[in-house]
Structure 1
Amino acid sequence: MNWASAIKGFKAYLKLERSLAGNSIKAYSRDLDKLYQYADSLLDKKSPKDFSLQDLRQFIAWVNELGMIPSTQSRIISGIKAFYKFLLMEDYISADPSELLETPKIQRKLPDTLSVVEINELIAAIDLSKPEGTRNKAMLEVLYGCGLRVSELTELKLSNLYPEIEFIKVTGKGSKERLVPIGGEAILALKMWTDFVRVHIPIKKGEEDLVFLNRRGSRLSRVYVFLMIKDLVATVGLKKKISPHTFRHSFATHLVEGGADLRAVQEMLGHESITTTEIYTHLDREYLKSTIIGFHPRN
């Protein structure tokens, strides 16, 4: 078994059996390519089945020497573990050398968020005199109102909108579907886009069910959403590094600060593990201070 055939089989497994998205499969492939490069640099040219736990530890030391940060190392180790579980499952190996491979401790970075005032400023800065302005407003209202990932936004379908019961159906990571509540502001913005602007666009064949389209009737790219938000940030003059994901972080943070149940937030975000959602239990100091002043009996 050589590296090329092992990696090819692993990619097929990720796509067909684990139903991972193309971007996730590419990320796994890039990380395994690093392990292959390392193996190829060794004098004895080890194949995947020849690697021991000590070899993998030496590989991680090599990655560390390249200057990769702990979060990147952790992702690489996660990919290696998935790769060797696949090889074990397919009987290419009889023991998993990655089983005891340690993941570096990572200091969890708190996500950047926007205040409600800042979100309102960004939405108010959209030029609604232009057709794309109506669309862009709807996109931001849905990003913040439903906590979507940017890929979930660009892939949102008309057939998955249920405004009469105030829900939308979203296809997330691993093609997993979830129902997410949608509020009045987002519903109204979507209606303005779909009923008064989108209906006048000549739609490209195969894109008829997509909610958000460009003026040529084709799907929007993730890059477009990033650039649109970047332009709005510059217009408003905000001194924060903001991306589409910032709206998702803000959605979750504002819900948790408002007292929402963490399990409910987990469901809405589509997180597999509650530990991923727990990062949103951070509260800024002013919020903590005002809470203590407002509710502590000695204040």
Structure 2
Amino acid sequence: MKDGKHQTLQEVSSQVETYFRSLSYNKQRISFYQKGWSVIEQFMVENSIDFYEAKVGDAFISKIQGTSDYSELSRREKDLIRCANVLTEYQNTGSIKFRSILKKYPLKGEIGEGIQGYLSYRKSQGASDDTVNNNKLYLHRLLEFLESNQVTNFSELDNQHILEFINGLGYYSKSTIHCMLSSLRGFLKYLFENGISEYNLTYLVPKSSYKKEARLPTTYTKDEINHLLASVDRGNPKGKRDIVMVLLAARLGLRASDICGLKFENIHWETNTIHLVQKKTKEKIELPLLTEIGNAIIDYLKFGRPKSDLPYLFLRTGQPYDKLEEPTLHNIVSFYLKQAGIKNIENKKHGPHALRHSLAGILLEKKTPLPVISEVLGHTNTESTKTYLRIDLDTLRQCSLDVLPLNTPLFEGVK
């Protein structure tokens, strides 16, 4: 096999096509990958990249995914990520697994142990699991870079290694570069302050001027939400389970992680309330157990939920009857949105988080105060909720100003 660092995209993709044909892939399936690779090719041309390698694939995936969780991506975005992953996997191993597996990011050796120590420190300082996992991903890329340069311990680490790693980040999106630099700076500071590194190398890491611009949230109208709910067939165990989860997202704005993690102990029938600690914010939240949701839960428990001693409310419908996971919930919501015949959903987010956004939009239409919406959505402050103001177009139109004619005194002297 040709050196992976000196293969063009055409060379790698041609080898993968040959591999697919040896496995009797049909023309349609191969064409699916070819279309994805053409998007990768465009990305490489735009960034003046001549050769395909793992970090090019990572950069392409980072551009596609941005700051979104994988479960929130569209089917097309996931397909593009798959197309990049098969190129990298074949280039590195000479084969491709038939099922995607979760990448583990092993942290080996002295430097890997240092990274593990830093991650434990971050967790002890109150960083969320998502933040720590992101730090792990970014610092694993540093570890891979150092290993490729035969740097296996901190005594061999010098200024040039850090600078070369930073210079190699040009493939990535601005948001990813910002996060990687932040993780690197924090790690280097940790090494110096704990006596692991003799020198404080944080001065080598440039400050990033990137500022995250919040995307306009995807929302569906009240009528579209009603069509979505009506599309769920409640006459079978799966439908009885699915309608409860969709209602929790659409009526109460619960996140997918909190829906999938919901336990029997969270349902307080005596007060008709739901009490839980949000997985994302670690904040306690209390929500009303609406009659519509309560009745759906009872119907599911009596006639839909498999017999199990697990404490979780929602289980898989087939054996093994394990706890339902977040990506599955995303696929469930996406399925029913399509089933409901809602137009243009391919160009919109179509997971449970979109239903959360939609609830915020409906509440805004009803002139609900921001603090109340914040409480419903479980935001720690109203700043997080303000992004939804941009979807309240009717109110925004009331704030618009007429454009003055050019012959007014205001424009005198303007050429």
- Give the TM-score range, shorter chain: 0.7 to 0.9
Q: 1:211 aligned to 313, 319, 328, which one? A: 313
* 1:11 alignment partner, one of 119, 135, 139: 119
Contact in 2 for aligned 1:138/1:189 (Cα 8 Å): yes
Consecutive unaligned residues in structure 1, runs of 5 or more: 294-299
2:202 is the counterpart of 1:97: yes
Q: Whole-Å Cα distance in 2 between the matches of residues 280 and 251 of structure 1? A: 10
Q: Which residue is equivalent to 2:307? A: 202
Q: State the alpha-carbon separation in 1 of the partners of residues 127 and 297 from structure 2.
A: 30
Pair 234,282 (structure 1): closer, same or farther in 2 beyond 3 Å = same
Q: Which moved more, 1:26-35 or 1:42-51?
A: 42-51
Q: Deviation at 1:27?
A: 2.5
Whether the aligned pair in 1 keeps the contact of 2:281 and 2:380 (CA below 8 Å) is no
CA distance in 2, matches of 1:176, 1:31: 24
Gaps of 5+ in 2: 1-108, 401-415
1:221 aligns with 325
CA–CA distance in structure 1, aligned partners of residues 368 and 119 of structure 2: 39
Amino acid at match of 1:167: T
Task: Give the CA deviation at 1:243.
Answer: 1.0
Indicate if the aligned counterparts of 1:252 and 1:265 stay in contact, CA closer than 8 A.
yes
Answer yes or no: is the 8 Å Cα contact 1:171–1:177 preserved in 2. Answer: yes
CA shift for structure 1 position 121: 0.7
1:262 corresponds in structure 2 to 370
Q: Distance in 2 between matches of 1:275 and 1:85?
A: 30
Moved more, 96-105 or 214-223: 96-105
Instruction: Name the SS for the 2:202 alignment partner.
Output: coil
Aligned counterparts, 1:1-299, within 5 A: 2-15=110-123, 18=126, 20-21=128-129, 24-40=131-147, 47=154, 59-63=165-169, 65-66=170-171, 68-84=172-188, 86-87=190-191, 90-92=194-196, 95=200, 97=202, 101-173=207-279, 176-182=282-288, 183-198=290-305, 201-203=306-308, 205=309, 207=310, 209-215=311-317, 216=319, 217-238=321-342, 239-240=344-345, 241=348, 242-272=350-380, 274-286=382-394, 288-289=396-397
Which structure ranks higher in relative contact order (CA pairs < 8 Å, sequence separation ≥ 6)? 1
The CA deviation string for residues 137-164 of structure 1, in whole angstroms up to 9 with x for no partner, is 1101111222222111100111011244
Match of 2:54 in 1: none
- In the alignment, the residues of structure 2 paired with residue 168 and residue 51 of structure 1 have an alpha-carbon distance, to the nearest angstrom, of 54
Whether the 8 Å CA contact 2:138–2:183 is kept in 1: the answer is: yes
Matched residue pairs, number? 283
Q: CA RMSD of the aligned region, Å?
A: 3.5
The residue type equivalent to 1:97 in the other structure is: T
Quick one: distance in 1 between partners of 2:235 and 2:151?
66
TM-score, L = length of structure 1: 0.77
Q: Give the residue type in structure 1 aligned to 2:336.
A: L
User: Which structure has the larger Rg over C-alpha atoms?
Assistant: 2
Q: Which amino acid aligns with 2:275?
A: K
Q: Name the amino acid aligned to 1:73.
A: I
Cα 1:255–1:39, aligned 2, differ >3 Å: closer, same or farther?
farther
Q: Is the 8 A contact 1:151 1:222 kept in 2?
A: yes
Matched residue of 1:265: which SS? helix
- TM-score relative to the length of structure 2: 0.58
